[in-house]
Every structure is written in structure tokens, then in C-alpha cells.
Chains A and B, each alone.
Chain A
Amino acid sequence: MYIFAWLIFILPLISFPLALFIGKYRRNLAGIIASSLIGLSLVFSVLTYFDVQNNGIIYESFHWFSNINFGIYVDNLTLIMLLMVSFVSLMIQLFSIYYMKDDPNRHVYFAETSLFTAGMLGLVESSNLVFFFLFWELVGLCSYLLIGFWFFKPNAASAAKKAFIVTRVGDLLFLIGMSVLYTSLSGSSLLSPGQSPLSIPTIINLISSNSARFVSVVGSTNLGIITLLFLGGVAGKSSQFPLHVWIPDAMEGPATVSALIHAATMVTAGIYLVARVFPLYEVAPSYSLITVAILGAFTALFAGILGIVMNDIKRILAYSTISQLGYMLAAIGLSGIIGSIGVSLGMYHLIVHAMFKALLFMSAGAIMIALMDLRNVKEMGGLWRKMPVTVSLMFIGAITLAALPPTAAFFSKDAIIAGAWEYFSLSNGSIIYLLPWIFLTIGAFLTAIYTFRMFFLVALGKPRSHLAEHAKDAPLIALIPLFFLAALSLVLGLFQGGFYNFIYPVYRGIDPSSVITYSAPGIIQYIPLILALFGILITYVIYGTERWKHIDASKSWFYRVTKEKFYLDYLFTRLIAERTIIPVSGSIADVEYSYNAGIEKFGSKSLGFGSFLRKMQTGLVENYFLVIVLGMTLVFIVLIIGGAF
């Protein structure tokens, strides 16, 4: 038994009932329990790190039901995620103690966030896709509960519902993918009897030992279908186009919950899934990785555009998350041509993003606390002077998000864009292979714009509301977790090469090419940075001063379309839910009603129910019945005993 590795997700799992029940009587203990157990998870993650470095991959599984196993599988990819998730969750948990200090139901909050973290840690470690799916849904459930944490707010209740249903659509596509994989592998010659077809190490080993045989058994078309269906699940969980619609609404929960969802626990699960089952994508037909790359890049661009027109500070950050997830997914998709280094690029950006996004959300949370939950950036302003520490922390987050040197994202994001150029130059030159680079580069420009639009509106100028005038910094002790995250956002860039080398062995079996970091030629390498700086300049000219007040964009059609989020919400809620699903269910319910009424009518006419009814309901019948059954039973028991002896 690898006790430490198991305890990593079991501890926060235990924290759920503990925080709930102890917290019920001693509210303040809940946060301490949750934090310390997650802290222990972090400790065990570190111990497991050394264990794996010294003794190799941890794999342990037990029989669950039928030919499905459950267990843990820890390799370098898992380790990276374990360390990130437990560390960022711990930081968020610590900040939550301050953030939630006045909420009467905070024990529920801490219990649910622990469960959330446990779900993510379990997901990361799972050795079987079914076990993985269990945690995958647990994470979805926790996000549902936490988004709707302030259940009395109608918006929160409706956002929670939306998050659950939209991600559920993706999850069930993932489930079909598993069904296809399961049925194609079950009973095939590849598996020895009793081996679970959905075990992750089994799949990895099968592919790395003989990928041609694997492809011929499963079938190339099937592999394409499987990977695309998995991608459906990824789109739901990691909020890729067009299933991203739940994330902006999900901002109705506490800001720390948003930090958890966006940085550590939920949205990265989809990216991790692709990285985890990457061998499947590697052997699938090339269109599936192309789809991954284009989808990711398109989402990066698309969400970037939306981020510019939002005024809600949390929604701006939400769209930035969608966009950054697009970068990660696109990076993995690039591996179709540039080799498995693409996964490392994506995972590296995932880790960096977790740090600065948690930082940004929590500093936004600190601002919201000071401003009595005000979220409209146009009513803030001048906060750099009012709350210097918080806004400075946010500044570090902002320059990291915009990928300015020397922050970590400069290394992680520009590497992805350079990889996208390499993707094009190694391809056959078809324009479709250039799309990721175009999308991602424009995305970098947009990122700088929406980030600094938000930052300038928050920090510069004069306070534009009464609340903003009286804002004050949070106590320094509460902000300590933010300092850690800010420091990491700045220095993580140092580990770029080391990180790629660390991830590399995971895919050595399927892609023996050595690690290369790509650099695009000459000027092309610097295009993203130049665009970002240019974007910041424009934004400063408009939003750094008070000029934006005189610009009225509401007349332009593009602004209106963007403000309506390209009518996607309209499509989903109005056209699909309200105009299709509900009328369909209404008419089916009508059919059902008439069917029942018809049967009843037929029955009462042909059988003459009326008179029969009167006879049956005299009350005497019951007694008759009782006597008869009693008599029968007696006879019957006597006969049994007589027959038996």
C-alpha cells in the first residue's frame, strides 16, 4: 500500500464530514480543519514526489465491480498536478478563512471546498477511467453546490443549475466515448482475462508497447470517435467553445470558489484528461488532434473578445480563464505535429495559470469585500491609492496574465505561440495549420487589452463611487497566501526547461523524440510581446485616463453582438431550452395526458367500472379477502409441514 499517495485525496475527503459536523457547533474550527487537512495533503504530495523520483511510478489497483478496477496511478504528470492542486487549494483555503469570516454557513463552505479539492486530487490520481469519472462528477457536483452556495440568491441558484447541466452534457459525451472504448477493447486479444479495458496504465502500456496492434484492434475510426467524444467532455469541464457558457454565470458564488474553480480544481480537469489519455490522441487519426488545436485556439480568441466588453470584474477574469484554457488545449493539440512537447507546453501553462489566476481572483475578492460586493469595474477607480497592497498584488497578476517578461506566463504562453508557428512550419503549409498561430497571437493582443482595461479601471483615476472612496486594504495576514502566489507567478518562469524535462518521460513510450523547446524565427518570436505592449498602450490611452467615458460604442453592431456574447446564451437558453426542450416536453406530456384519459375512458365504458366500483368499495371485501387468504395460508402451511415430514 502506498499510504501517502492514497491519503492525498482521502484526507480532504475526511475533512468534508469533519468540517461539516464540528463546524456546526464551532464555526471557526471548520476553516482550520479544512486548511490543515489540505496542508497535510500538500505534505504527502511532496513525500510522494520523492517516492516517485526514487522508486518509479506508483500504480496500485483493486477490483471494484465487474471488470472495472479502482486505484491510483502516479507518474510525473500526476505529481505536477498533485503539487499544484494541493498548494493552490491550500492558499485559497487559508484566504477563505478571512474571506468567509462573517458567513453564517461557513462550515458548509469549508466542507464543500474540501470535497471539491478531494475530488480534484482523486481525479488526478485515478488509475481507471471509471474511477476518474467518479471524481470528475464529484468535482462537477461540488461546483454546483458552491456556485449555488448563496442558494437564496435566485441568480446563484440558476447559475448553479446551468453549470451542472452544461457540464453534464459534456460528461455524458465522455461517457459515450468510454462506451466505445470499452466495447472495442473488451474481449479483444489485447487484454488478458480480468484486465479492465478502461484502466489508464493498461491503455498507455498497450499503446507504447505496440501501437499498430492497438490501432488495428480498436479501429482507427473508433479511435477518432473516442478522442472526439472525450473532447466533448473536456469542452464541458474546461469550458471550451461552445460549452463555455456556464463559466461566466458561475461567478455568482463566493470569489474564493471562483478561484478554486478557475485555478485549481475544476476547469483544469479537462486539460488534464487530454494529457492523461494523450497516447489515445497520439494514435488516433490526425484530425482529432487538429480539432483539439483549432478548438483551443479558437476559444482563446473568442473568449478574449468577450472579455473586453465585460464590466463585471469577475466575469472579465472568467473569460480570461476560458481564453487561457484555450491556450493549454491548443498547446496539446499542437503535439499532432511538433511531438509530445506540446503536452508539456500546455501543462506548464496550466501550472502557471493556476498561480496567477488564483492570485487575481483572490485579489478581486479582497477588493469586493472592501467594496461591499461591488463588481462593476466602472464604479471602482483609484483603488491603487486606497488599497495599495491588494492592487499591487493584482498588478502582478495582471502583468503575468498579459505575459510580460519576466513573469512566468511570458515563458509559458509565448512558448505555446512559438510552438504554434513551428506547427505551421513543420506542416504541409496548408492554411489550416496556420490558424492556431493566428488565433493565439491575436489572443495575446486581446489578453493584454482586457487585462489592463480591467486593471486601469480598477486602479487608476478617481474613485467613481461612494464605496470606492472608502475602500481599505484587508489585513496583511489575510493576504499572505496572495504573496506566495504572486512570488510564484514571478519566478516560475525559471523552471521552464526543467519542467519540460520532467514531463517528458511520461510520453517517452509513445514519442521517443527528444525534448526541444521551439523558438520561432526572428521577428515572429517577438510578435506576441509587441502586440501585448501595443495593446497595453492603447488601453492606457483609453482607460488609463478618463477618455473612455466619452466613447460610446453601443451603436456599433460588433459591440452589440459581443455584448450579447455572440447570442450563444440566447441559442442555448432561448432556442434550445425554452423553444425546443420545454415545448417538446410539453407536447409529450400532453400526449401522455390524453393517452391516460383515453385508457380510463375506454376502461370505464367497456368494463362498466361504475357499478363494479360501488360493489368493491363496501369495506366488507377487505375482511372477506383477509379471511380467505388467512384460510388458504393455514391450509398451505399444514400441507407443507405434512409434505415435509
Chain B
Amino acid sequence: MFMLAIFIVLILLSFATFFMGTRAGVFAKSSAALILMLTVVYAFLNFSGTGAGGFTSESTYAFASGIGIYFSIGVDGLTVSLLILSAVISLIALLIANRKEYTASFYGLMLLTETGLFGILLSRDFLFFYIFWEIVLVPMYFIIGRYGGERKDTVSLKFFVYTHIGSVFILLSILTLFSYYYSYSGVFTLQMSTLLNSAFINNSGYLPLFWKDFMLFGFLLGFLVKLPSFPLHSWLPDSYTTAPYPATVMLAGGLSLMGGYGLFGILLPIYSTINITVLWVLIALGIISLLYFAFTAMFQMNMKRMMAYASASAMGFVTISFAAGILDSTLSIRSIELSGGIFQIVAHGIIMALIFSVLYFITENTGKENIYQMGGVHREMPWLSSFLLAGFLASLGLPGLAGFIGEFSIVVGMFQTVGWLIFFVILAMIVTASYHIWTAQRSLYGAYNENLGKIKDASRSEIAILASVTLVIFVLGVYPNLIFGIISAYVGGII
């Protein structure tokens, strides 16, 4: 009930923002802060104490009960951690948005995106899940198309069409499940808990093998587009680069969150239905993503584009974690592997939020995004440059920062399943470290590029924002159990 209230408040606030005129910015920022606070309070009340992550609250409300459509929302260990993540990244994205051109509708659309994310995570009913899944795209489409940079028309459309095609496959999968469940039981239902039933799915008498594979394929396709995984990533680099920075923060954290939630929230509960070959394909895709995006990132001159690829590369870990975790035979390894994947989603979202925020301020102050147009900027902007370095270090998985916990948990258990393929993963990690550090050397350190003239460092409020995000990354890095415990309990409940 409390969660439903938060959700309704969020919906109302996001619509109200559209009508706030010049005060929309402040209103949206405080709304996002309020939502984050309420979500954290909710999480604290229900999930504090270890082992509480298995807790699920589910409430169902009749919507059109005649045709089996209910509105039901629920929260478990996975969704609560992702809810916090979406609240955090939305808050960061809104806080850094400071341009004059951002009108009320910009802020409204941002909050609407958050609403969509909340809706996806909360829905326990496939209809609403799908509706919110689609709703996220629309505000993002408008933000990119209206407030974006170069080629914004083409890019926004590409973003919309590409990810929409992914979503259509999800819809087809849902319909497959829905209709076969009806023909099996004679009941119209879109309830996730009913449809995601391994016994039903695995029984080829109820669900023919072809349609089972079709269903899994559709889900996987839709989720991997969002994650994104090679080779379904084509929307990503352009959208990240063209989107205004606040929206990039939302994209990096939010869309990968959707893909990750799809894998761990929808497919993990029915993991026993997934074919071993499919899992190995996923591992291969994960490793290819890691390497391919890392190498691509290394060659980028534009920092924003480089980080877009870095973000995609980090998501390769999530794919591997999902597939390798299911394949692992030892329970404790399986647990650390899968929990690590989920933790990676959370950590990645916050780390990318930090990096894109810093890049935003740097770009605002220098007017440059290209690595080679900077150089030695640490001299003029020690704060921003230190925060960028902190973000880079977190992104390359340095212990003590959040990125490490996820990557370590995934890598440490990986050997059991993937064996010596682990060397490719390590190679990708080395490449990742290299391009981050190389970029830092070329843009932040060395002789100052005098062409930049006099540039100013971050303002006090900007420093405060960045410092708090860095603090969150640090706290999650040294005390991961804040989130890891909840996630482990969720994973433990399933496997």
C-alpha cells in the first residue's frame, strides 16, 4: 500500500511538473528527492536486516476482472534495489539539469521516465508491465528529439524504432504465454506469478516446444536490446551521444536497468526452462560485448561516446553473470554470481550517472567533448577532474568503489562454468582499465592546453552533487551489503 501511494504520488507529480512553468525545475528536483526519500524509507522499513530480501509484498486490484486483467503491484529484493537505483539516477539527472532551454516539459518528461521505470518494476501483471515498458520510450524519444545535440531527429527516431522493435517481441512472448495458459487452464490471466511457472512452460503438452522457444527468444531479444548486448546495441552510441546529458544519465542507468530487470526479474524465476545452448550463446554474447565495446571505446575521440561504449561493455558482465550463474553447479557460487550481476546493474547505473554528470559540467565549462581538445585540465579544474578520475576508477572496477563488488562477484565464480574463457573477460578488463587511464592521461593530465583559455571549475552546488554521488559509490564499494544482502536473499529465494 505504501509503495502504491509512492507510485501514485510520482505519477501526479510528474504530470503536475508540465504545468509548473518557470518553477518546473525546482519542483521536479524536489519531487525526485521526495520520491527517493520515500523509496528509501520504504526499503528500510521492509528490507532492513539481512535475509529480508525474499520479502514480497503483492497487492492486486481489479482492473477489468472480466477479461482477467488486474492491476497488481509487488516488491521484492530485486525490485526494491532497482527502485532505489531508478530514484537515485532520476534525482541525479534532474539535479544536474541547469540549462535555460530546459522548459517545464523537459522536467516533466524526465519524471515521466522515472514513472515508467517505477511502473515496470512494480507491475506484477504483464499488461501493465508492457505498458510501462513502452511508456519509458516515449518521453526519452521526445527529450532526445527536442533537446538533443547533432542529428537529433534521426537519432531519436532510430532510438524509438529500434527499442520499440525489441519491445514488440516482448509483447509477442507475453501473448504466447497468455494464450497457451488460457488454452491450458481456461483462465484469462496476465499475472506474472501465474504465467511464469516453470512446470507449465516446461510441459510441452501445455506449451509446445516451438512456442516455448519463441517465447524465450522474444523475451531475450527484447531484454538484450535494452541491456544492450552485442549485436543489438546499434541504438545506444548515437542515443547516448545525442541525448542531453541529464537524459544520458537516465538512459545509461534506466535502460540497462530495464534489460537487467528483464533478465533477473522475468527470466531468472523460470531459469530451468532455458536451454543450455541458449545460456552458452548468452555467455558468448556477454564476452563479445565486453571485448567488442571495450575495444571500440578505446578508439573513440569523443568522451561521451567513449563512455557510452564503456557502459555497454560493463553490461556484458550482466549477461555473463545471468547465464553462467544459472549454469553453475555449486549453490554458493551460483548465489554470488547472480547477485553480482544484479549488483553490477545498480553500481553501473550510479557510476555512469557520476561520469556523465562530470562530463556535462566539463563540457559546459570548456565547450569541448573531444579528448584531444582538452589536455591538462586538472590544473584549471581540479575538482571536476578529480571526480572524473573517481568515476573512471569506479568504472574500471577498482576495489573500494561500487564497480568492483559486482565485477568481482561475477569473475570470482566464473571459472567454474566458463573455465579458461575467463581470460577473455580479464583481457576486456585490462583494455577497460587502459582506455580509462589513457583518457585521463590525455585529457586531465599533462601540459595544459592553452587554447582552452581561462576555464572555471565546478560551482559549490555542483561539487556537492558530485561529492554525494561519489560518496554513494564509495559506500557501496566498502559496505556493499546494504544492497548485496537484499539481492542475495532474492536470489537465494529463487535458486
Residues of chain A having any CB pair with chain B under 8 Å: 63-68, 130, 133-134, 136-138, 141, 144, 148, 151-154, 156-158, 160-161, 164-165, 168-169, 172-173, 175-176, 178-180, 182-183, 186-187, 198, 581-582, 584-586, 588-589, 592, 595-596, 599-600, 603-604, 607, 609, 612-613, 616-617, 622, 625-626, 629-630, 633, 636-637, 639-640, 642-644
Residues from chain B with a CB closer than 8 A to the CB of A644 are 61
- Partner pick for A65 among B157, B433, B445, B481, CB 8 A cutoff: B481
A643 near B71: Cβ-Cβ < 8 Å: yes
B138 near A612: Cβ-Cβ < 8 Å: no
Known: A138-B400, A612-B157. 12 other contacts (CB 8 A): A151-B444, A153-B446, A176-B426, A179-B422, A183-B333, A186-B333, A198-B412, A589-B299, A604-B154, A633-B15, A639-B61, A639-B62
Instruction: List the 3 shortest-distance A-B pairs measured between CB atoms, nearest first.
Output: A643-B62, A187-B330, A157-B445
A172 near B429: Cβ-Cβ < 8 Å: yes
A600 near B415: Cβ-Cβ < 8 Å: no
Q: Is B21 an interface residue (CB 8 A)?
A: no
- Partner pick for A588 among B8, B299, B330, CB 8 A cutoff: B299
- Partner pick for A176 among B138, B142, B333, B415, CB 8 A cutoff: B415
Q: Is B414 an interface residue (CB 8 A)?
A: yes
1/0 per residue, CB under 8 A from A, across B115-146: the answer is 00000000000000000000100100010011
Q: Is B393 an interface residue (CB 8 A)?
A: yes
Q: Is B409 an interface residue (CB 8 A)?
A: yes
Q: Is B277 an interface residue (CB 8 A)?
A: no
Distance of A148 Cα from B411 Cα, bound (Å)? 30
Q: Is B413 an interface residue (CB 8 A)?
A: yes
Given contacts A151-B446, A172-B430, contact A186 B61 (CB under 8 A): no
B380 CB → nearest A CB, Å: 11
Query: 16 pairs across A/B with beta carbons < 8 Å?
Result: A63-B481, A64-B480, A64-B481, A66-B339, A160-B445, A168-B433, A168-B434, A175-B408, A175-B411, A179-B411, A179-B415, A183-B412, A586-B299, A609-B161, A622-B105, A643-B70
A141 near B398: Cβ-Cβ < 8 Å: yes
Given contacts A138-B400, A600-B154, contact A161 B426 (CB under 8 A): no
Residues from chain B with a CB closer than 8 A to the CB of A625 are 138, 142
Stretch from B37-45, B171-179, B230-238, B257-265 contacting the other chain: B230-238
| Secondary structure class of chain A's binding surface, majority of residues | helix
Stretch from B27-35, B279-287, B290-298 contacting the other chain: B290-298
B64 CB → nearest A CB, Å: 8
Distance of A154 Cα from B443 Cα, bound (Å)? 11
Q: Is B416 an interface residue (CB 8 A)?
A: yes
B296 near A165: Cβ-Cβ < 8 Å: no
Q: Is B405 an interface residue (CB 8 A)?
A: yes
Distance of A137 Cα from B11 Cα, bound (Å)? 44
A195 CB → nearest B CB, Å: 10
Closest residue of chain B to A131 (Cβ to Cβ) is B399
| Secondary structure class of chain B's binding surface, majority of residues | helix
Residues from chain A with a CB closer than 8 A to the CB of B441 are 157-158, 160-161
- Partner pick for B413 among A65, A152, A179, A613, CB 8 A cutoff: A179
B399 near A137: Cβ-Cβ < 8 Å: yes
A593 CB → nearest B CB, Å: 9
Q: From residue 198 to 238 of chain B, which have CB atoms closer than 8 A to chain A?
A: 231, 234, 237-238
Q: Is B485 an interface residue (CB 8 A)?
A: yes
Residues of chain B having any CB pair with chain A under 8 Å: 4, 8, 11, 15, 18, 61-65, 70-71, 105, 112, 135, 138, 142, 145-146, 153-154, 157-158, 161-162, 231, 234, 237-238, 292, 295-296, 298-300, 330-333, 335-336, 339-340, 376, 378-379, 393, 398-400, 404-405, 408-409, 411-416, 422-423, 426, 429-431, 433-434, 437-438, 440-441, 444-448, 480-481, 484-485, 488
- Partner pick for A137 among B292, B400, B446, CB 8 A cutoff: B400
B445 near A617: Cβ-Cβ < 8 Å: no
Residues from chain B with a CB closer than 8 A to the CB of A151 are 376, 378-379, 444-446
A168 near B430: Cβ-Cβ < 8 Å: yes
Distance of A629 Cα from B292 Cα, bound (Å)? 39
Given contacts A613-B153, A643-B63, A644-B61, contact A585 B429 (CB under 8 A): no
Distance of A610 Cα from B71 Cα, bound (Å)? 39
A581 near B234: Cβ-Cβ < 8 Å: no
Closest residue of chain A to B11 (Cβ to Cβ) is A633
Distance of A176 Cα from B411 Cα, bound (Å)? 8
B157 near A616: Cβ-Cβ < 8 Å: yes
Given contacts A157-B446, A622-B142, contact A603 B161 (CB under 8 A): yes
Distance of A460 Cα from B299 Cα, bound (Å)? 52
Distance of A133 Cα from B296 Cα, bound (Å)? 29
A589 near B408: Cβ-Cβ < 8 Å: no
B234 near A138: Cβ-Cβ < 8 Å: no
Residues from chain B with a CB closer than 8 A to the CB of A198 are 412
A231 CB → nearest B CB, Å: 15
A66 near B430: Cβ-Cβ < 8 Å: no
Distance of A643 Cα from B4 Cα, bound (Å)? 14
- Partner pick for B447 among A152, A165, A604, A643, CB 8 A cutoff: A152
Distance of A625 Cα from B142 Cα, bound (Å)? 10
A161 near B438: Cβ-Cβ < 8 Å: yes
Residues from chain A with a CB closer than 8 A to the CB of B161 are 603, 607, 609
A584 near B295: Cβ-Cβ < 8 Å: yes
B61 near A67: Cβ-Cβ < 8 Å: no
Residues from chain B with a CB closer than 8 A to the CB of A182 are 333, 412-413, 415
- Partner pick for B415 among A156, A183, A613, A640, CB 8 A cutoff: A183
Closest residue of chain B to A194 (Cβ to Cβ) is B332
Interface centre among A151, A160, A642 (most CB of B within 10 A): A151
Distance of A78 Cα from B414 Cα, bound (Å)? 31
B412 near A581: Cβ-Cβ < 8 Å: no
Residues from chain A with a CB closer than 8 A to the CB of B142 are 622, 625
Residues from chain A with a CB closer than 8 A to the CB of B298 are 581-582, 585, 589
